[in-house]
Amino acid sequence: MGAVVLTAVGAAVVYAATRPDRNDRTVTVNRLQDVQRRAEATRIAHRRWFAARKADLLRQIHAAKARNEAAAAPPQPAESGSVPEPQIVRRFIPFGAKRKAETRAYAHRHYGISTDKLVDPKVIVEHYTESADAQSAINTFATDQPDSELHELPQTCAHFVIDSDGTIYQLVSLTEICRHTVGLNYTAFGIEMAGFSDQQILDRKPELDAALTLTRWLRCRFGIDVHNVIGHNESLRSPYHRERVASLRTQTHDDWKHADMNVFRRKLAALGGC
């Protein structure tokens, strides 16, 4: 019995002696874990700060490099070599989804292609407006009504109109097909000049000079030969002429006849190559 009592007392002593130790260890472990958690949080915060700083520095380095390269780069050559772009007033006529759809339908009827885009143009066609100024032609082109001659949509148009004083207006994007010459619209830019006859424009220096300068820039930009700069009246002799509508295969207009275009082309060639 005495041994049992002693053992019980011993166990109680041992228990009493060890309990505080366990509590201390628990507190210590908790503190240690807390310290470790805080240290880990600090490490994560530092890693994030360094990553952000590194990204920021890289951005600054790339920006500085781009600025240096831009400053060191030689000036870009003009798109048409040494031929500068003339002064052009952009006065675009409405050419929205409806007109583009009409142009696609026109291109399909007349050329068997379903696009409103002028791809790889090969010809420049010169015209006169049969009006005193450019504005009346612009007004007509802007109204997308059936044209007065062939009663088709879209309304006729030209990429450029030159006024009697030599002001050049661009009306249509160079990537869009414009309806100005039966048989050639799929591959031709159209340039209209205000006036009533070839001779009147040949005698009107500011307008003629503007037409020549614009034509030279355009032909050089798109690699179009001088002999593919033609008058509307020469359309049927162009090797690019094609027309699916039989009744229109011999249709052309009187503006810019062959003899007058020979004068125009001589002056164009005299301005120099590209």
Q: Which residues bind Zn ion (CB under 5 A)?
A: 127, 232, 253, 255
Toward Zn ion, which CB reaches closer, 83 or 181?
Answer: 181
Sign of CA dihedral 27, 29, 32, 37: negative
User: In this complex, which beta carbon is closest to Zn ion, that of residue 166 or of residue 231?
Assistant: 231
Q: Give whichever of 181 and 213 is closer to Zn ion, judged by the CB atom.
A: 181
Q: Considering beta carbons, is residue 144 or 147 the nearer one to Zn ion?
A: 147
For Zn ion, give the closer residue by CB, 80 or 197.
197
Q: What minimum distance in Å lies between the beta carbon of 273 and Zn ion? A: 27
Residue 256: CB minimum distance to Zn ion, A: 7
Closest distance of CB 128 from Zn ion, Å: 7
For Zn ion, the closer of residues 107 and 230 by Cβ is: 230
CB-based contacts of 2, cutoff 8 Å, min separation 6? none
Q: Which is nearer to Zn ion, 125 or 210 (CB)?
A: 125
Minimum separation from the CB atom of position 92 to Zn ion (A): 20
CA distances from 37 to 29, 48, 50 (A): 12, 16, 20
Q: What is the largest CA-CA distance in the chain?
A: 144
Residue 271's alpha-carbon distances to 82, 205, 209, 212, 216, in angstroms, are 12, 15, 10, 8, 8
Smallest gap from Cβ 175 to Zn ion, in A, equals 21
Asked if 105 and 209 count as a contact pair (C-beta separation under 8 A), the reply is: no
249: alpha, beta or left? (left if phi > 0; alpha if psi -120 to 50): alpha
**Bridge partners of 231?**
126
CB of 253 to Zn ion, least distance (A): 4
- Shortest Å, Cβ 176 to Zn ion: 18
CA distances from 107 to 13, 18, 19, 167, 187 (A): 107, 100, 98, 30, 11
State the first-to-last Cα distance of the chain, in angstroms, to the nearest integer. 125
